């Protein structure tokens, strides 16, 4: 996402101290139901026309946040303001105006389209719901949408299962664009696609954002993809936001021990024999289990963290600003930031 865009300053999405809990099963036959905390105290901001990448491994709570923004689940505490609506305060189904402002594209493009509808019906559905168009105009609009995502009229009468993965995802994007939204939640939009098609979809999304100034909340587990697709990145682990900031800073110079572990694990496409000698890295192996289960109040990364101290078990740190932009939530922040001054840290930084 390059190009000289001056993003407006107003926020399309503001998440403030969000907590989301689900009721789980019982541990003992007559015991109380356990509470599964999917998101703990997450705060995010997303400006107009910008992309915020939300990365994390499975169980990090990234998808839960996306679904909360879409009001497909309800927050336990905290506030979500999206496109000027207080999403957390909705009672029952959100108003149609909200549905027009905030749209979604999901990971599995086959599952997210009604299997019994042709592409033209799928695209006409949001138009029918939100706009009182005569059928001719609606058809014209459907064609326009298809064109926007690089499909042609030949695809109008196909069923989802007759399309390739990439084409289905294009249909899903067209469906989201049908109501001219301000914000689209992209929940792993390219994870199910082949690598050669992933880039097509990311380029398409990028083009649409330039043309229409739509904001994206881009949820993904692939760090490299997120870096390409986002202006800002937030890294989540087990419901907590560990580190956030401008994409190039977070991905180029990750500071949080977890973020560094994560980036070091990404396979390097340069074969080993073509690389220089490998630096010894303290995050290579899972650390010995210290026998402490992470407490709900403490840092969830404690079991794997080489920098852990006694305070990590009892509380979760306030985010500290990081030079170069963004914040990091670590009690050992001081040490981490000092270590950053030494040359042992990641490789390239565009600045």
Partner 1 sequence: MSESASDVPRLPAADVAAKGSVRSSRFLGRLLRQRSLLIWGTVVGIIALSAVLAPLLSPFDPDTGVLADSFAPPSTEHWLGADRYGRDVLTRVLYGGQVALLAAVQAVAIALGIGVPAGLAIGYAGGWLDRILMRLVDGVMSVPFLVLAIAVIAALGPGLHNAMAVVGIVYAMSVLRLVRGEVLSAKEELYVDGLKVSGAGGPRILFRHILNNIAPPIIVQATLMFATAIVAEATLSYLGLGVTQPTASWGSMLSEAQATIRQNFFLAVPPGIAIFITVLGINQVGEGLRDLFSREITVGRLGLNVVRKTRPTASEREIFAGEPDQPSALEVRDLSVSFPQAGGQRVQVVQNVDLRLRRGELLCLVGESGSGKSVTAMSMLGLVSHPGVVTASSVRLGDEEISGLDFKAMRSIRGNRIGVVFQDPLASLNPTFTVGNQMCEAIMEHRDVPRREARRLTIDLFERVGIPNPELRLDDYPFQFSGGMAQRVMIAMALSCDPEVLVADEPTTALDVTVQKQILDLLVGLRDERGLSILLITHDLGVVAEVGDTVATMYAGQIVESGPVAEVFAQPRHPYTQGLLDSIPRNVAPAGALPSIRGTVPQPIDWPVGCRFADRCDFATDACRRSPVPLAPTVDPGHSTRCVRVDELRLTGIGDEQSQVVAVLSRASGRDGVA
Partner 2 sequence: MRNVVIRLLTMIPLVLLVVSGTFFLSLASNVDPAEIILGGNATQEQIDALRQQLGLDRPALEQYWTWLSGLLQGDLGTSLYTGASVTDLFLAALPVTLSLTAGGLVVGVVLGVGAGLFASVVAGTRLDRGVILLSTMGQAAPSFFVGMLIIYFLALQLGWFPATGYVSPADSFGGWLHSLALPSIALGVGVAAALSRQARSSMITALQQDYTRTALSKGHSRRRVVLKHAGRNAASPVVTSISFQVAQLLGGAIVVERLFALPGLGSLTIDAVLRYDPNIIQAVVLFAVVVIVLVNLLVDVSYVWLNPKVRTT
When CB distances are held under 5 to 8 angstroms depending on the partner's kind, the choice from partner 2, partner 1, none that residue 339 binds is none
When CB distances are held under 5 to 8 angstroms depending on the partner's kind, the choice from partner 1, partner 2, none that residue 167 binds is partner 1
Q: Is 29 or 341 the residue whose CB approaches partner 2 more closely?
A: 29
Q: Is 17 or 144 the residue whose CB approaches partner 1 more closely?
A: 144
The distance of closest approach from Cβ of residue 335 to partner 1 in the complex, given in angstroms and rounded to an integer, is: 22
Instruction: Scan residues 241-260 and list those touching partner 2 (CB under 8 A).
Output: none
Q: Is 234 or 262 the residue whose CB approaches partner 1 more closely?
A: 262
Q: Is 27 or 347 the residue whose CB approaches partner 2 more closely?
A: 27
The distance of closest approach from Cβ of residue 35 to partner 2 in the complex, given in angstroms and rounded to an integer, is: 16
The distance of closest approach from Cβ of residue 351 to partner 1 in the complex, given in angstroms and rounded to an integer, is: 4
The distance of closest approach from Cβ of residue 278 to partner 1 in the complex, given in angstroms and rounded to an integer, is: 11
The distance of closest approach from Cβ of residue 29 to partner 2 in the complex, given in angstroms and rounded to an integer, is: 4
Interface mask toward partner 2 for 11-50; x: CB under 8 A: --------------xx--xx--------------------
Three-class DSSP labels, the chain = CCCCCCCCCCEEEEEEEEEEEEEEEECCCCCCEEEEEEEEEEEEEEECCCEEEEECCCCCCHHHHHHHHCCCCCCCEEEEEECCEEHHHCCCCCCHHHHHHEEEECCCCCCCCCCCCCHHHHHHHHHHHHCCCCHHHHHHHHHHHHHHCCCCHHHCCCCHHHCCHHHHHHHHHHHHHCCCCCEEEEECCCCCCCHHHHHHHHHHHHHHHHHHCCEEEEEECCHHHHHHHCCEEEEEECCEEEEEEEHHHHHHCCCCHHHHHHHHHCCCCCCHHHCCCCCCCCCCCCCCCCCCCCCCCCCHHHHHCCCCCHHHHCCCCCCEECCCCCEECCCCHHHHHHHHHCCCCCCCCCC
When CB distances are held under 5 to 8 angstroms depending on the partner's kind, the choice from partner 2, partner 1, none that residue 9 binds is none
Q: Is 341 in the site for partner 2 (CB under 8 A)?
A: no
Which residues make up the interface to partner 2 (CB under 8 A)?
25-26, 29-30
């Amino acid at each position: 996402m390059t190009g000289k865009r001056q993003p407006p300053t107003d926020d399309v999405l503001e998440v403030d101290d969000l907590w989301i809990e689900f009721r789980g099963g019982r541990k003992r036959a007559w015991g109380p139901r356990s509470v599964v905390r999917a998101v703990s105290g997450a705060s995010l901001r997303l400006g107009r026309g910008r992309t915020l990448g939300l990365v994390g491994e499975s169980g990090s709570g990234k998808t839960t946040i996306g679904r909360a923004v879409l009001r497909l689940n309800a927050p336990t505490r905290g506030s979500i303001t999206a496109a000027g609506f207080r999403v957390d305060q909705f009672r029952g189904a959100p108003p149609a105006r909200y549905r027009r402002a905030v749209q979604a594209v999901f990971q599995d493009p086959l599952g997210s389209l009604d299997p019994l509808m042709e592409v033209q019906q799928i695209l006409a559905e949001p138009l029918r719901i939100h706009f009182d168009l005569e059928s001719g105009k609606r058809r014209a609009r459907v064609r326009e949408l298809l064109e926007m995502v690089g499909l042609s009229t030949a695809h109008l009468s196909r069923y989802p299962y007759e399309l390739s993965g990439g084409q289905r995802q294009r249909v899903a994007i067209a469906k989201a664009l049908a109501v001219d939204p301000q914000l689209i939640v992209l929940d792993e939009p390219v994870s199910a696609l082949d690598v050669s098609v992933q880039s097509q979809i990311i380029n398409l999304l990028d083009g649409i954002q330039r043309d229409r100034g739509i904001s994206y909340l881009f949820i993904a587990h692939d760090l490299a993809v997120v870096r390409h697709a986002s202006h800002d990145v937030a890294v989540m682990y087990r419901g907590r936001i560990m580190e956030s900031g401008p994409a190039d800073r977070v991905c180029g110079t990750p500071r949080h021990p977890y973020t560094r572990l994560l980036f070091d694990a990404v396979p390097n496409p340069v074969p080993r024999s073509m690389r220089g000698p490998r630096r010894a890295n303290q995050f290579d192996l899972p650390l010995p289990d210290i026998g402490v289960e992470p407490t709900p109040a403490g840092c969830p990364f404690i079991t794997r963290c080489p920098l852990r101290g006694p305070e990590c078990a009892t509380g979760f740190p306030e985010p500290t600003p990081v030079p170069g932009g963004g914040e990091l939530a670590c009690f050992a922040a001081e040490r981490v930031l000092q270590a950053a001054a030494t040359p042992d840290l990641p490789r390239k930084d565009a600045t």
